Amino acid sequence: MVGAGTDRSKTAISGGPAIVLVRPQLAVNIGMCARAMANFGLSDLRLVSPREGWPRTGTYRKGAYAAAAGAVHLLESAKLYESVREAIEDLSFVYAATARGRGQMKPVMTPAQAMPAMAARMSAGEKHGVLFGPERTGLDNDDVALADAILTFPVNPAYASLNLAQAVLLTGYEWFRAVHGDAIPFEVEERSPPATREMTLAFFDFLEGELDKRGFFRPLTKKPVMSRNLRNMFHRMGLTQQDVRTLWGVVVRLVEGTRREPKKSSRKKQKEEAGS
């Protein structure tokens, strides 16, 4: 299954810090982490002693690949390690993602704080990574001891536990923002140019004229205020030329009633009756 936003015609972004999943328990969560990584251009997936082994086979493999939703290339290129130490030995800086204070006197940062500095150092040639612990227990203290700093998330203190893929997603999001900025991937396409003042004023005159005929402006002493309110409502919309034409057509149809279908010629009617 591939997500609706997948576009194979565009160049895929890759790179970023290593995402190290330490003793992950569920195949589906590994797949979801791969999907989160692909969303934000992360491509270095490392697995430390998955509970069911790796690569997955049978039902486990099917679940992981389905959850990856098109990011199966990350599952197929994932590196497998026996220990955290092996998984991070080529990295120069490592964060340990955890929701709990560990009393290890390490710097504690949010992804929004950590990712800009990480991006700058990685652009200079360093290799960085983030450790994420098992779904049920998180990283243990020995895992955290191997890291340079702690990465945590500003969440509800009474419910701070994040799903594994959610934690990877939030980290990837801040990484992408740090490297590529906040520019949105697409903007609204302008299908019609803005309406000219002449066009909108002509519509207002027409609308108010029809409303006047039907006694809308009552009492008459309030007509100037009601008229200004109407005009201001439409001005706030930022009308396009197509908007004005459509609104004009709506009012015309309300005024004139149901449009009658053109009568069929007797010859055409005879042909239709003969065909039936």
Convert the pLDDT of each residue in 179-234 to its tens digit: 998 877 667 676 789 999 999 999 999 999 999 999 999 998 999 999 999 999 98
User: Do residue 87 and residue 118 come from a single domain?
Assistant: yes
* Through-space distance between the first and last CA atoms of the chain, rounded to whole angstroms: 47
What average pLDDT score do residues 70-88 get?
Answer: 93
Q: Is the pLDDT of residue 70 over 60?
A: yes
Task: Identify whether 139 is part of a domain.
Answer: yes
So what's the pLDDT on residue 268? 63
User: Do residue 103 and residue 203 come from a single domain?
Assistant: no
Q: Is the pLDDT of residue 6 over 80?
A: no
User: Do residue 154 and residue 209 come from a single domain?
Assistant: no
Last residue of a domain, one of 180, 207, 231: 180
Last residue of a domain, one of 125, 147, 180: 180
Q: Is the pLDDT of residue 1 over 60?
A: no
User: Do residue 40 and residue 111 come from a single domain?
Assistant: yes
So what's the pLDDT on residue 21? 96
Q: Is the pLDDT of residue 276 over 60?
A: no
Is 172 or 272 the better-scoring residue by pLDDT? Answer: 172
Kindly indicate the confidence band of residue 265, based on its pLDDT and cuts at 50, 70 and 90: low
| Secondary structure (H, E, C), 130-169 | EEECCCCCCCCHHHHHCCCEEECCCCCCCCCCCCHHHHHH
Task: Identify whether 10 is part of a domain.
Answer: no
User: Do residue 90 and residue 221 come from a single domain?
Assistant: no
Task: Locate all alpha helices (DSSP H) within the chain, ordered by sequence.
Answer: 27-39, 58-68, 72-76, 84-88, 111-123, 141-145, 164-180, 197-213, 223-236, 241-256, 266-275
Kindly indicate the confidence band of residue 165, based on its pLDDT and cuts at 50, 70 and 90: very high
User: Model's pTM, two decimal places?
Assistant: 0.69
So what's the pLDDT on residue 186? 67
Identify the CATH number of the domain in which residue 46 sits.
3.40.1280.10
Share of the chain above pLDDT 70, in %: 87
What average pLDDT score do residues 38-67 get?
Answer: 85
* Lookup: tokens for 122: 């990685």
User: Do residue 93 and residue 213 come from a single domain?
Assistant: no
- Least confident span in 10-24, 31-45, 198-212, 251-265: 251-265
Q: Is the pLDDT of residue 89 over 90?
A: yes
So what's the pLDDT on residue 105? 86
Task: Identify whether 9 is part of a domain.
Answer: no
Task: Identify whether 262 is part of a domain.
Answer: yes
List the domain range (segments joined by +) for residue 227: 188-276
Q: Is the pLDDT of residue 273 over 70?
A: no
Kindly indicate the confidence band of residue 123, based on its pLDDT and cuts at 50, 70 and 90: very high
User: Do residue 112 and residue 47 come from a single domain?
Assistant: yes
So what's the pLDDT on residue 30? 93
So what's the pLDDT on residue 2? 52
So what's the pLDDT on residue 169? 96
Number of domains in the chain: 2
Give helix 58-68 / helix 27-39 axis angle, nearest 10°. 20
Task: Identify whether 22 is part of a domain.
Answer: yes
User: Do residue 175 and residue 218 come from a single domain?
Assistant: no
Last residue of a domain, one of 180, 202, 223: 180
User: Do residue 156 and residue 269 come from a single domain?
Assistant: no
What average pLDDT score do residues 33-60 get?
Answer: 87
So what's the pLDDT on residue 95? 97
Amino acid at 104: Q
- 3-class DSSP assignment, residue 129: strand
Place of tokens 């053109």: 262
What average pLDDT score do residues 99-105 get?
Answer: 79
* CA 207 and chain centroid, separation: 41
User: Do residue 37 and residue 115 come from a single domain?
Assistant: yes
Distance separating alpha carbons of residues 109 and 146, to the nearest angstrom: 16
Task: Identify whether 12 is part of a domain.
Answer: no
Task: Identify whether 11 is part of a domain.
Answer: no
User: Do residue 71 and residue 163 come from a single domain?
Assistant: yes
What average pLDDT score do residues 33-56 get?
Answer: 90
User: Do residue 24 and residue 113 come from a single domain?
Assistant: yes
Q: Is the pLDDT of residue 3 over 60?
A: no
So what's the pLDDT on residue 9? 60
Task: Identify whether 1 is part of a domain.
Answer: no
Is 184 or 168 the better-scoring residue by pLDDT? Answer: 168
Place of tokens 């005929």: 213
Spatial contact of 14 and 180, defined as CB atoms under 8 Å apart = no
